[in-house]
Amino acid sequence: MKQKREQWGSRWGFILAAMGSAVGLGNIWRFSYAMGEGGGSAFLIIYLLAVLLIGFPVMLIEFSIGRRTQTDAIDAFKKIAPKSGWFIAGVMGVLAAFMILSFYGVIGGWSLRYLFEYLTGGISGDSSDFFVGFIGGTFTPVLWQLLFMAMTIGIVYLGVQKGIELSSKWMMPILSFLLIALAGYSLTLGGASEAFAFMFQPEWDAFRDPQVYLSAMGQAFFTLSLGMGAMLTYSSYLDPEERLTSSAAIIIALDTLFALVSGLVIFPALFAFGLDPAEGAGLVFIVLPNIFEALGGVGTLVGLVFFVLLSMAALSSAISLLEVAVAYFIRKTNLGRKKVTLIVGLVIFALGVPSSLSQGAMDITVFGAPFLDFMDAFTGNLLLPLGGLIMVLFVGWTWTKKEILHHGDVGQQAWGPLYVFTAKFVAPVAILLVLVIGLMNW
Ligand code: TRP
């Protein structure tokens, strides 16, 4: 018999770890540029709808699969539906873990590099030149990516309780505190009213662009860590009796709040300096350093706080991505957690090198986009919604109503029937519609 499977130490340990997974580069780096490109408020409204109508049911569905089966993303499907094809969702999930973490580690590395720059006085000169020069390098960005991956590997290596849970219990409160402090400061810079208008005043034209729907839904999946078994894997370390619905509600509410407050950090500062929100993926790494520089002495401190925040948020998410693959290979091989974590982590690092090099050192493009940008869009806008779709179909259409209610921990709730209806119809139809329309327009 193998060793007993690991479990969380407490319910709050699980919630904080899942929150750590959800809150990441997606909330700050990806949210701000997607919103900037998606016309601000229109993107925000569609994104909030997607979180509510798709994010919540999909998260509860992942939780119910994980808590019910107490195993990894691939085995979970084989356990409930042996001799069927549903486990493809798990296979896609483990593949997505490799793909997402490969480029996530690159950006985590950038964030670490900036952290160290601000530790030693900040970035001098033109921040755009600095960024382009840095990410276009061959060895330096790869070295920072390696450092970031080493930290990720280190935490996962220590296990569910001593690594993931403990680190999340430290990082999440610190993150929240730093974010609120930064937002408070940013709102004093003079761009607050313009930022509020940009974020909250609907601009109807943007609703006509189908691409905004796809990117808003992709963002909902990405920021909530859905569609590839991360939440499934985390919930598999829960006691089968543990509550789910309130946990899902807390995680989703706080993740959304985190994204909104990040917007209140970035956009007021942006408008205060008359800069363009549609700057794209470089927003956080080019525009913000410009602002920090313009703030003078205090800017170095603000920059340091910001990149500590970004790096921690990235790290607590990266560990959940690594854990999806690690959980699978721990069961599949007899190498044990430590060896599996090292091997899988290093393989993912290696897979990320082309993403890093695609930023200027070499010409690595797919469909005309640099490899990293392609991986980002491909996984977020396509792979995750597709994985989520398969999971809702699996639960909605192969489980009995009683199973859906019981394993989703919705049995006693008045909105039980609404949840079943959403799982069966609303969520799958919404995902499919957005996917098809988005792809036709691509
Ligand atoms: N949610 C994280 C973020 O917002 C990224 C992330 C972690 C993720 N685990 C995931 C995305 C699993 C998709 C699937 O940055």
* H helix and E strand count, the chain: 22, 2
Q: Is 228 in the pocket of ligand 1 (CB under 6 A)?
A: yes
Give distance in angstroms: CA of 24 to centre of ligand 1.
7
Q: Which atom of ligand 1 is nearest to the CA of 231?
A: 12
Closest atom of ligand 1 relative to the 22 alpha carbon: 1
Question: Which atom in ligand 1 lies closest to the alpha carbon of residue 320?
Answer: 9
Give the Å distance between the CA of 124 and the centre of ligand 1: 32
Strand partners, 366: 369
Contact (Cβ atoms closer than 8 angstroms) between residue 201 and residue 31: no
φ and ψ of 369, to 5 deg:
-105, 145
Residue 25 in contact with ligand 1 by CB distance below 6 A = yes
The C-alpha atoms of residue 27 and residue 196 are separated, in whole angstroms, by 18
* pLDDT of 2 higher than 60: no
225 lines ligand 1 (CB under 6 A): yes
DSSP code string of 187-212? GGGS-HHHHHHHHHS--GGGGG-HHH
Give the tens place of pLDDT for each residue, 133-176. Answer: 999 999 999 999 999 999 999 999 999 999 999 999 999 999 99
Whose Cα sits closest to atom 8 in ligand 1?
Answer: 225
pLDDT at 209: 85
**Number of the ligand 1 atom closest to the C-alpha atom of 223:** 4
Q: How far apart are CA 390 and CA 148, in angstroms?
A: 32
Domains of the chain listed by start with CATH number: 11-441 (1.20.1740)
Nearest to 141 by CA among 180, 169, 111: 111
Task: Tell me the pTM.
Answer: 0.94
Between the CA of 222 and the centroid of ligand 1 the distance, in Å, is 5
d(C-alpha 123, C-alpha 107), whole Å: 18
Q: For residue 3, what pLDDT is reported?
A: 65
Q: How confident is the model at residue 87 (pLDDT cuts 50, 70, 90)?
A: very high
Nearest CA residue ID for atom 12, ligand 1: 225
Distance (Å) from CA 305 to ligand 1 centroid: 22
The whole-angstrom separation of Cα 70 and Cα 212 is 37
Spacing, Cα 403 to ligand 1 middle (Å): 28
- DSSP class of residue 81 equals S
Q: Please write the tens of the pLDDT for every residue from 193-236.
A: 999 998 888 778 888 888 888 889 889 999 999 999 999 999 99
Mean pLDDT of the region 324-346: 97
Element (H, E) at 26: none
419 lines ligand 1 (CB under 6 A): no
* Cβ(31) – ligand 1 distance below 6 Å: no
pLDDT, averaged across the chain:
92
Q: What spacing in Å lies between the alpha carbon of 385 and ligand 1's midpoint?
A: 13
In tens, the pLDDT along 339-372 reads: 999 999 999 999 999 999 999 889 999 988 999 9
- pLDDT tens-digit readout, 43-78: 999 999 999 999 999 999 999 999 999 999 999 999
Residue of the CA atom closest to atom 13 of ligand 1: 225
Instruction: State percent of the chain over pLDDT 70.
Output: 99
Over its C-alpha atoms, the chain yields an Rg (Å, rounded) of: 21
The pLDDT, as a whole number, for residue 1 is 42
Q: 1 CA distance to ligand 1 centroid (A)?
A: 33
Q: Given the structure tokens 């963002």, which residue do they identify?
A: 219
d(CA 20, ligand 1 centre) in Å? 9
DSSP string of 99-124?
HHHHHHHHHHHHHHHHHHHHHTT---
Give yes or no for residue 335 having a pLDDT over 60.
Answer: yes
239 has pLDDT over 60: yes
